[in-house]
Amino acid sequence: MAFQPIVNVEDNTVFAYEALVRGPAGESAASIFAQVNDSNRYRFDQTCRCTAIELASRLGMSTALSINFLPNAVYRPELCIRTTLEAAETFGFPIERIIFEITEGEKIEDQRHLRNIVDYYRSSGFRTAIDDFGAGYSGLNLLAEIGADIIKIDLALVRDIHKHAAKKAIVRGICSVAADLGTTVIAEGIEQSEELAVLRELGIRLFQGYLLARPAFEALPAIDPKAWANAG
């Protein structure tokens, strides 16, 4: 796993770290996901969760931990979550600080099943987020169906938003919907201070991207003071 911070630019604090899959020697996520198939998807999903929790605990993470999960790997939430709960107890990581990110880029075969998963996770004390919001198959329909606690606006909408009135209008609309639903918004893929400035004008306070910090392999990356200056 590598970890990348999600930062709150209002008070210059780290809101959470996202756990990002890597190979044992730091190989890319793409090279790892290329090896995932129907026969190993469940085992892969469970292993990633436990590894992220163990590493977060070992590194002394005191913020929230955001873990991607594969909805199509979960067959019965009450059974699939058992390993996560055991890992949290074993490594002393509070479950209320764990966020499960639903990757919108993975086509959801059964939205009712996904809603059951999210409802069960919430009842167990976890928070949920929709990753890559605005880039996948379901968009607003998915948000309406499952009611996630957090949405992460996809980098395709973030990239060069200061140059595109349409992107700005779309993100403004997303922020308005999120506010009505009481849903927290995170903008990911931030690489330019101009992007961050526009998104701050739209009311977003939580950001993730290379402008602030790159992922660190099995470590919690420090945020450069210059990055905080850019964020301010």
Q: Please, what are the domains in the chain?
A: 2-231 (3.20.20.450)
The average pLDDT across 162-177 equals 94
**Predicted TM-score (pTM) of this structure:** 0.90
| pLDDT at position 137 over 60 | no
- Do the strands 184-188 and 98-103 form a parallel or antiparallel pair, or are they unpaired? unpaired
Residue with tokens 């880029």: 105
SS3 of residue 142 by DSSP: helix
Instruction: Give the residue among 198, 112, 206, 121 at the shortest CA–CA distance from 157.
Output: 198
Residue with tokens 């140059």: 163
| Higher-pLDDT residue of 168, 226 | 168
| pLDDT at position 103 over 60 | yes
Residue 16: pLDDT band (50, 70, 90) is: very high
| pLDDT at position 232 over 70 | no
